[in-house]
Amino acid sequence: MSTASAYLNVAGLDIDVVYKDIKHLHIGVYPPFGRVRVAAPTRLDDDRVRLAIIQRLPWIKKQRRHLQDADRQSEREMVTGESHYVWGVRHRLKVSERPGRAHFEVDGERLLLYVPEGTRAEQRRALLDKWYRQQLRAAIPELIAKWEPILDVSVPRWSIRHMKTKWGSCNRESRHIWFNIELAKKHPDCLEYVVVHEMAHYLERSHGQRFIAVMDGLLPDWRTRRDDLNAAPLKHEEWSD
């Protein structure tokens, strides 16, 4: 089966389009952030695909809201036995209450949290948030330093923050790059993909064919890394026509 790919931006949404030898157009909305992927027949051009997406925007937005609601409902209680991911590996949390400095440690398959007695759930979540940030701050500079000479660009400023709909973001004017704190839960290859993706926006603003060509030249397996990044236990929603 022959395929071709493209990116479209519709109503502020970046749409991943794959053209295949199929009869009908399919639209999928995928966790965790509601990424929209379209499988379209090769007989359709970008304009007709764009029109099909516009016609289904209410449905797409509804599915994205469902995913975001499900994400909010899964807030961790931060108690022994919970599962937490670190760099793509699932760990069982073990909480130990004892005097002294609160901190996390990885011990094989366990994620250990040492906290003073009486520490509340929201305080424990804040500690985990801080620890994830530390993990990213240790990993990102090495990746940026690796890719700056390859792309012949420099990254003057980058930050980590919570992002509801994106893994990363790049402001071409200020050259400031933001990374989603959730990346600390994903495999390091996924983090590298996001670093390269956002740095590539220094060269190409949109997700058009030139951007795809840049990514193909820099990171030939970027599609596999992107799919691994977006993998989640939640069920995705799909529209077929």
Q: Does residue 236 lie in a domain region?
A: no
161-197 pLDDT, tens per residue? 998 778 999 999 999 999 999 999 999 999 999 999 9
Statement to judge: residues 62 and 97 lie in one domain: no
**Domain ends where: 44, 74, 104?**
74
Q: Does residue 170 lie in a domain region?
A: yes
**Residue-level pLDDT at 234:** 41
Model confidence at 30, pLDDT cuts 50, 70, 90, reads confident
Statement to judge: residues 140 and 206 lie in one domain: yes
Statement to judge: residues 69 and 88 lie in one domain: no
Beta bridge partners of 95: 113
Model confidence at 235, pLDDT cuts 50, 70, 90, reads very low
Statement to judge: residues 69 and 87 lie in one domain: no
Listed residue (94, 103, 91) closest to 127, CA to CA: 103
70-102 pLDDT, tens per residue? 655 467 889 999 999 999 999 999 999 999 999
Statement to judge: residues 33 and 129 lie in one domain: no
Instruction: Report yes or no: 108 and 94 within 8 Å, Cβ to Cβ.
Output: no
Instruction: Report yes or no: 116 and 99 within 8 Å, Cβ to Cβ.
Output: yes
**CA 165, CA 148: separation in Å to the nearest integer?**
26
Model confidence at 13, pLDDT cuts 50, 70, 90, reads confident
Res. 1: pLDDT tops 70? no
Statement to judge: residues 98 and 63 lie in one domain: no
Q: Does residue 241 lie in a domain region?
A: no
Model pTM?
A: 0.78
Res. 237: pLDDT tops 80? no
Domain count, the chain: 2
Statement to judge: residues 47 and 122 lie in one domain: no
**CA 91, CA 212: separation in Å to the nearest integer?**
35
154-166 pLDDT, tens per residue? 999 999 999 877 8
Q: How far, in Å, are 90, 111, 233, 235 from residue 82 at the CA level? A: 10, 10, 15, 21
**Residue-level pLDDT at 239:** 60
**Residue-level pLDDT at 133:** 98
Domain that holds residue 168: 83-230
**CA 181, CA 209: separation in Å to the nearest integer?**
29
Statement to judge: residues 11 and 96 lie in one domain: no
Model confidence at 4, pLDDT cuts 50, 70, 90, reads confident
106-125 pLDDT, tens per residue? 999 999 999 999 999 999 99
Res. 241: pLDDT tops 60? no
pLDDT, mean of residues 49-75: 83
56 vs 233, higher pLDDT: 56
